Amino acid sequence: GENVEQHPSTLSVQEGDSAVIKCTYSDSASNYFPWYKQELGKGPQLIIDIRSNVGEKKDQRIAVTLNKTAKHFSLHITETQPEDSAVYFCAASSGGADGLTFGKGTHLIIQP
């Protein structure tokens, strides 16, 4: 089955700086890669997703890049703000019956 590795497990950045979270996946059949933000006491919230026919997608301060050859995708957050502090999860799916496979999460801390 699919295996998703996510790094780093904790990331601390100064407010206003950029943050990058990286994930790798193992199943070459995976074709859908969402990113979720989870705040304390809440469920994961979808913030951006990318499909394998696209290399990059941007939504305001958030962007995701995908390298299918290397089986690698990344989340980029620019001009970080205190409200960006949360746990971020990457995930991958081949559209089959196995659902989404999630990484272990990155705790993003925005230092004022």
Among 31, 19, 4, which residue's Cα sits nearest to residue 80? 19
Q: Does 50 engage in binding with other proteins (CB under 8 A)?
A: no
Q: Does 97 engage in binding with other proteins (CB under 8 A)?
A: yes
| Among 28, 45, 81, 111, contact with other proteins (rule: CB under 8 A) | 45
Q: Does 58 engage in binding with other proteins (CB under 8 A)?
A: no
Nearer to other proteins, 18 or 29 (CB): 29
Chain centroid offset of residue 27 CA? 17
Place of tokens 């995701």: 64
Instruction: Please give the residue ranges that form the binding site for other proteins (CB under 8 A).
Output: 4, 6, 31-32, 34, 36, 41-46, 49, 51, 89, 91, 93, 95-105
